[in-house]
Structure 1
Amino acid sequence: MVQTVRLGGTDIEVAAIGHGLMLMTWTPTPVSDEQAFEAIIKGVDAAGGAKVLLNSGEFYGENFSTTNLELLARFYKKYPEYADKTVLSVKGGVDLANGHAISRYLYDYRLAKPHLSKKISLEFLRKSIDNINAKLEGTKHVDIFEAARVDPNRSIEEAMNNMKTLIEEGKFSHVGLSECSAETLRRANAVVPVAAVEIEVSPFSYEEETRKVIATAKELNIPVAAYSPLGRGFLTGQITKLEDILEGDMRHQSERFKPHQTKNFPHNLTLVDALKTIAAKKGVSPGQLALAWVRSLGPHMLPIPGSSKASRTIENLQAADIILTEDEKAEINGILDTIQVKGARYQASTPGLWG
């Protein structure tokens, strides 16, 4: 029986592991339509009839373009039967006319305050979701819409009321939150039910505020859409040297992968090696172990690993059935306490992305 998670404030059940689509297009070498479509189809078919959450973004393309949405439009045109088999979550609410502002906004919203004054205004959010819907060309209704970051200049109550207005206009069905604090999540959910809260969770990213959000989400019956649950690919064990990450890859924005941060990379590799040892003993892949660990944090945990290969997508979904024993969880947590990750998730200037 396929493990499922219910979206907050709804009766919608989705497979316990979703599918992040960002790196299908936000990469120096995007994959072909054929390969991308196969990865999506095989994953959905492997879910045993459960709907699969697909995670996209208005700016998930090189130079912050809408190519990810355009890819989805082509997919749903070719395979319209998969529209009802998938739940589509899309991030938006950023200034696509200013790529530099988007980059700064995503990596350090506090540096981008001059560009944030209108990010959650009704007019700006309407423009964003209208653009998303236009790029999808009517092939798929947006199930969940979320602003990529919380605007520090306006209240979350105002943002949620604006989202409620857009739902009433038929622009999308449900509201998601991204990179929010536990307090913000609670306040937002009091205005409009939050379908899912998207934060980074992995053995590589398990901060104090992360734990608070996970606990609050559990209390409020809101799933946590855990992005980068594989540590941006590092926890799969496939990256063994910095040269494995191509020039121009967005992962170089992180201190954990920047070429000049030579001390961080080998230190973090010792964490990966320790987890690989546990995975080998359990007879699972390192990536599956990481996903199983995220799932073990609660029944509301919904990892959304990225994959452009059908084989990897299926492997990821299979991790939902892997149960970690208390001894295994204790061993993993002991490793995380002993070998603490070096390097910030994004840029060193970022004091925190929790809004």
Structure 2
Amino acid sequence: MTPTIANRSVGPIGFGLMGLTWRPQPSSYDDAVKVMKRALDLGANLWNGGEMYGPPNANSLHLLEYYFTQYPEDSDKVIISIKGAAGAHGPDGSPENVRASVENGLKILDGKAFISIFEPARIDPNTPIETTISILSEYVKAGKIGGIGLTECNEQTLRRAHAIHPITAVEVELSLFSTNPLHNGVAEACAELGIALVAYSPLSRGWLTGQVRSLDDLPADDIRRLFPRFQPEVFHLNLRLVEGLEQIAAEKKVTLAQTALAWVRAQSRASGAPLIIPIPGCTTVARVEENLASVELTAEEVERIAVILEEIPVHGKRYPEMWEQYNDL
């Protein structure tokens, strides 16, 4: 049976739209459109972006509006997931901010594309999740958005939200460097409730591309220099994990990135979740083609990776403290 999300068939890998990340962005919208078009041609039809991914006049929503102006025939082929409802000082799931965020997205897209899933960007600790979901459910019932997602939520928050309105997808960081969702009840709850799990940063901010061998590979102003796992005292320790995983990739004659993405997809079987979709960010056609190549891991290879993860632990938290506080995990 073909997997579905938001009532549409979905490919095995999604696509992360341009955002405020460590990656250099395409030099123009036209360059970005070429990457997006190739991704869709290769089956990556879950597109994930955010209202805060870029400045107010040039974020993911503006890029989507530009794309579908060029290719209006593709609007029915893509599942669009948008994060929003961020505040100036952290997550803001208040009714006023949620409404303003959704309305802003609808205005920018101007009917050229449909928001299949709207996700509050992180969980607002100052607003009950029931309040946030109740507002979004009004937009679903009115047909203005297709469904509701959650980002970086824990199992309890997910269950509380789902009790108010069915949750379509949960977006959490999941990679060979970040396996927590498989053990903290989130993946298990998704399996039980029939919710898709969307894995962001499946290549762990470049660690799992094999292109980062030393701190000198990061520009002086690279935001990754702020992240705990890239600090000088642990960098060499985390590189050991990369080197161990590269051995399996070399034996398979595939890239490390392809191996890492195949591992994420394989967790659907391991966790029992109905659907796990990695959403690597790609800024070039070549990277899209690499990431969407058909690579599968055998049960033996998955077990070998499990042994490597046990023998070589990851050092450092996922985020700097100033951002770690916003993860509801």
Shift of the 203–64 alpha-carbon distance from structure 1 to 2, 3 Å rule, reads: farther
Distance in structure 1 (CA, Å) of the matches to 2:22 and 2:65 = 19
1:294 equivalent to 2:267? Answer no
2:61 to 42, 65, 69: 69
In structure 1, give the amino acid aligned to 2:279.
I
Taking structure 1 as the reference length, the TM-score comes to: 0.84
1:54 equivalent to 2:47? Answer yes
Higher RCO by CA contacts (8 Å cutoff, separation 6 or greater): 1
SS state at 2:3 partner: strand
Q: How does 1:76-225 map to 2 (within 5 A)?
A: 76-95=68-87, 98=88, 101=89, 105=90, 119-207=92-180, 211-225=184-198
Taking structure 2 as the reference length, the TM-score comes to: 0.90
Shift of the 156–352 alpha-carbon distance from structure 1 to 2, 3 Å rule, reads: closer
Gaps of 5+ in 1: 106-115
1:39 equivalent to 2:32? Answer no
The Cα shift of 1:150 comes to: 1.0
2:11 to 2, 9, 15: 15
Shift of the 208–142 alpha-carbon distance from structure 1 to 2, 3 Å rule, reads: closer
The Cα shift of 1:66 comes to: 4.2
1:111 match: none
1:252 to 204, 222, 225: 225
CA offsets 1:173-225 (integer angstroms, 9 cap, x no match): 11011000112112212221111100000001012675421111111111100
Shift of the 247–137 alpha-carbon distance from structure 1 to 2, 3 Å rule, reads: farther
Identity between Structure 1 and Structure 2 (%) = 39
Distance in structure 2 (CA, Å) of the matches to 1:20 and 1:129 = 20
SS state at 2:111 partner: coil
| Residue pair 2:49, 2:61 contacting (<8 A) in 1 also | yes
The RMSD of aligned alpha carbons is: 2.2
SS state at 1:172 partner: coil
Distance in structure 2 (CA, Å) of the matches to 1:131 and 1:248 = 31
SS state at 2:213 partner: coil
SS state at 1:143 partner: strand
CA offsets 1:54-86 (integer angstroms, 9 cap, x no match): 00000102x676422212211111111121111
CA offsets 1:123-155 (integer angstroms, 9 cap, x no match): 211101111222223321211101011112232
1:307 to 282, 290, 295: 282
Distance in structure 1 (CA, Å) of the matches to 2:57 and 2:249 = 38
